[in-house]
Amino acid sequence: MKAYQKSLLFFTSLLMWAFLFQSCDNEKDIDLSAIKIETDIKRFDRAFFTMDTLNFTQNLAVLEQDYPPFFSAKTEEVFWRKQRKDELQLKLFSQTEKLFGNMEKEQAELNQIFKRFYYYFGQEKQFEVYSYISRLDYDYPIIVAPPYCFIGLDMYLGENNDYYASLPNYLQFRRQAQFLLRDVAFALAENTFGLQVDENKLLNAMIYYGKLLYVTEKLCPFLREDELMVYPPTKMEFCEEHERDMWVYFIENGVLFKSDAELQRRFIDVAPFSKFRTDTDPQTPGGVGRWFGYKIVSAYMEENPDLSLKQLLQEKDAAKILKLSNYKP
């Protein structure tokens, strides 16, 4: 009997722990039932590159009705005929079809991202989302131009894809399909927040990107931290193990409040690694200042749980955010 009671107690304890862990996981989520807006990915890429060309003029007119943002410039038909025959775009479309297919998974997750966006920022600004072939537009894989969001599917074919061979390895890494939805959320955050006032002051830049990453996390709450940061797992591990050492460098060298464009290049810009000018630099991720900004902003919001995301973005005093965050690695 005692053995039975012990077993029952052990089993009950396991259930309680499982419930607690499940509850903690659910705290990442929010109630989106009041958000009725459904966001579909409108597949201009598929519609255009599978269009019957025997009746080109008539079918192009149908596309113009269904996908108006792509025809706003009133481009002549000869342009579209040339695009339809473009060898590079046809090959890129073929690869995106093999990789993404009908995008059911991406569609469901993207719909949740936009519901979260409307939950946090209101429904006044609503978006239509279109996928297309960007012809390898490395600078703008995602374009947010309200009321539209454009996704260049050919920019997420995988880091080892031959089309990205001209890029350095750290930029090829960013071209993985797993980062597509993260990039959509980040672009939404960036469009909502706008440009920072003082780009050169290191702390301002840290907090600016920290806010964007924090909002991105809220829009995509189940991203791993390395996915949120677009860091290889090994470099994420380095950050976690050397967080205090790197922070001490910033403090002891008094660089947080310096207005110096070089500091932004060393610690904020996307790069193969950050530049502390030590032997361990190659083990760091590029733009590690963004990660510190994210850590500070996260701590700030934990210390001030009543603040909304809108209020966070409206707070322009980076020094105040650092102070009130009580950030101590």
Give the model confidence (pLDDT) of 184-198 as tens digits.
999 999 999 886 655
Same domain, 163 and 306: no
Query: Half-sphere exposure (CA, 13 Å, Cβ side) for 167?
Result: 21
Does position 221 have pLDDT exceeding 60, yes or no?
yes
Q: Are residues 111 and 244 in the same domain?
A: no
- Select from 149, 176, 193 the last residue of a domain: 193
Task: From 153, 168, 193, give the residue that closes a domain.
Answer: 193
Q: Is residue 20 part of a domain?
A: no
Whether 83 maps to a domain, the answer reads: yes
Banded pLDDT at 12 (limits 50, 70, 90): very low
DSSP state of 31: -
- Mean pLDDT, all residues of the chain: 91
Residue 74 is assigned to a structural domain of this protein: yes
User: Do 287 and 224 share a structural domain?
Assistant: yes
How high is the pLDDT of residue 20?
35
**DSSP assignment, residue 144?**
E
Written as one letter, the residue type at 73 is A
Q: What is the mean pLDDT of residues 260-279?
A: 96
Asked whether residue 28 is assigned to any structural domain, the reply reads no
One domain for residues 125 and 236:
no
Same domain, 94 and 219: no
Structural domain containing residue 93: 41-193
Rounded to whole angstroms, the Cα distance separating 192 from 117 reads: 10
How confident is the model at residue 198, as a pLDDT? 57
Give yes or no: residues 216 and 310 share one domain: yes
The reply to whether 1 falls in a domain is: no
Percent of the chain with pLDDT over 70: 90
- How does pLDDT run across 50-101, given as a tens digit for each residue? 999 999 999 999 999 999 999 988 889 999 999 999 999 999 999 999 999 9
Residue 24 lies in a domain: no
The reported pLDDT for the residue numbered 195 is 67
Q: What is the pLDDT of residue 73?
A: 83
pLDDT at 202 over 70: yes
- Higher-pLDDT residue of 268, 26: 268
pLDDT tops 70 at residue 203: yes
The whole-number pLDDT of residue 194 equals: 80
For residues 187 and 301, state if they share a domain.
Answer: no
Q: Are residues 184 and 63 located together in one domain of the fold?
A: yes
Q: Which of 193, 219, 253 is the last residue of a domain?
A: 193
User: Does 299 or 24 have the greater pLDDT score?
Assistant: 299
Kindly state whether residues 45 and 189 are assigned to the same domain.
yes
Of the candidates 172, 139, 148, 170, which has an alpha carbon nearest to the alpha carbon of residue 71? 148
214 pLDDT higher than 60: yes
Give the CA-trace dihedral at 161, 165, 166, 167, to 10 degrees: 60
In terms of domains, do 145 and 227 share one?
no
Residue 273 lies in a domain: yes
- Do 161 and 60 reside in the same domain of the chain? yes
Asked if pLDDT for residue 300 goes beyond 50, the answer is yes
User: Do 239 and 154 fall into the same domain?
Assistant: no
Dihedral sign for Cα atoms in the order 162, 163, 169, 172: negative
End-to-end CA, the chain: 50
Structural domains in the chain (count): 2
Greater confidence, 20 or 42? 42
